[in-house]
Structure 1
């Protein structure tokens, strides 16, 4: 069984110039926890997950986000946490997205996909064909297709 046989073809994604606000909206609207980031040619340039968001909701030291944070605090009487979350919403997705993305080819065998998901301890794998995003496979997709139990 190959990736193209089990992958989800309708992939929720964000563009590399989108704001984190668009990511959060897709997470909430579609009940998902991660998104591939693509350029205008639909090539994968990053991946952003709820874990990446969690790291920035908490206290951190990041020059890009901190610039917006200090700007928000300076402009008014804003709570520190509120300023940090507002700054995050207005940041560019590529400011915090992972740029080194593990992907699989559209014809990758399911055994290899399972091995990658397990070894890398990731939940989803973007699928590409000729360098373009064509689908996504989750751990659940692999389990459902390997074990046909009702």
Structure 2
């Protein structure tokens, strides 16, 4: 899935000379956590988070609180800013969030801001990709890491006239040379599929149904 499919196109922005109090009001009004800072050409100069603004906001016991809020937003913005392209993949954005410990990236095209992607957007996309929001059943298998294994299993599932909502594959940490395949199939009764997989020699890890998967 591409970034352009999940990004928010309506982005609240501020110029670098805007006041901190303006950012605070926008964050509260629109219930957002990040504001890109842009110039007149809509190029991204920096970004501020709700935490940046909160840390810059004075305590109620501070007598000079009004002066601090009138400081320009560029004094607290983070820069340089990591950005992504609309044709980047969402999983690449997830990697950026993890490696850089950030929760938001502006989306730019030709150096101009066109959208924004947050951790919440990526998490929701993951939920969609897993198919967990649909009525379905999950089957988890341990298989040898051999060419042709996946199409054999999908063909076997297809013989039961069952659609596959999603497939995830990852290395088996406990068994070198093996993979874990997680299928989500569009049926509330996976027993016939599980029995067929077992009869063809596949190791079913989940669901653990007595008399079927043991």
Task: Give the TM-score band, short-chain normalised.
Answer: 0.7 to 0.9
Deviations 1:17-49 (A, max 9, x none): 211121011011001121000000000001011
More helix by share: 1
Q: In the alignment, what sits opposite 2:6?
A: 6
Instruction: State the alpha-carbon separation in 1 of the partners of residues 2 and 91 from structure 2.
Output: 9
Larger Rg: 2
Q: Does 1:81 align with 2:62?
A: yes
Deviations 1:87-119 (A, max 9, x none): 221111101111211111111111111100111
Unaligned runs of 5+ in 1: 60-78
For residue 113 of structure 2, give the secondary structure of its aligned residue in structure 1: strand
Q: In the alignment, what sits opposite 1:34?
A: 34
Instruction: State the alpha-carbon separation in 1 of the partners of residues 92 and 115 from structure 2.
Output: 16
Instruction: State the alpha-carbon separation in 1 of the partners of residues 58 and 23 from structure 2.
Output: 18
| Change over 3 Å in CA distance of 1:130–1:86 after alignment to 2 | same
Q: In the alignment, what sits opposite 1:90?
A: 70
RMSD value over aligned CA atoms?
A: 1.7
Instruction: State the alpha-carbon separation in 2 of the partners of residues 117 and 23 from structure 1.
Output: 23
Q: In the alignment, what sits opposite 1:101?
A: 81
Instruction: State the alpha-carbon separation in 1 of the partners of residues 66 and 58 from structure 2.
Output: 13
For residue 21 of structure 1, give the secondary structure of its aligned residue in structure 2: helix
Instruction: State the alpha-carbon separation in 2 of the partners of residues 19 and 27 from structure 1.
Output: 13
Instruction: State the alpha-carbon separation in 2 of the partners of residues 5 and 90 from structure 1.
Output: 37
TM-score, length of structure 1 as denominator length: 0.80
Higher relative contact order (CA 8 A, sep 6+): 1
Give the deviation of 1:14 after TM superposition: 0.8
TM-score, length of structure 2 as denominator length: 0.57
Show structure 1 runs of 4+ deviating over 3 A. none
Unaligned runs of 5+ in 2: 134-214
